[in-house]
Amino acid sequence: MACSRVNFYHVQNMFVGARQVFDRWTVWEPDEQAWLTHIKFELRYKEIDRARTIYEKFVYVHPEVRNWIKFARYYFNCFK
């Protein structure tokens, strides 16, 4: 039981660290794939609201129509 707790805390710390790296990375307004990877990371852990917030920032930085369509698809799939 103690081993599983240690493993949980280790994984949790990696998760928090990865999120911090993504958050710092998006401040630099990277290319589209970086944003989409960040969004996918949040969705993998069921962080729907965080993913939505990242999508909002993404379409502000990369306002191309194809990105708005991706955001709309995501929004309608998550918030039906």
Residues 52-76 have pLDDT tens digits of 999 999 999 999 999 999 999 998 9
Distance in angstroms (rounded) separating the CA atoms of residues 49 and 55? 10
Asked if residue 10 has pLDDT above 60, the reply is no
Q: Which tokens hold the place of 1?
A: 């039981």
- Domains of the chain and CATH, by start: 2-78 (1.25.40)
The 3 state secondary structure assigned to 37-61 is HHHHHHHHCCCHHHHHHHHHHHHHH
Tens of pLDDT, residues 13-38: 677 888 888 888 888 999 999 999 99
- What is the structure's pLDDT at 80? 64
pTM of the model: 0.79
Beta carbons of 35 and 62 less than 8 angstroms apart: yes
- What is the structure's pLDDT at 20? 87
Distance in angstroms (rounded) separating the CA atoms of residues 19 and 11? 12
- What's the one-letter identity of residue 35? W
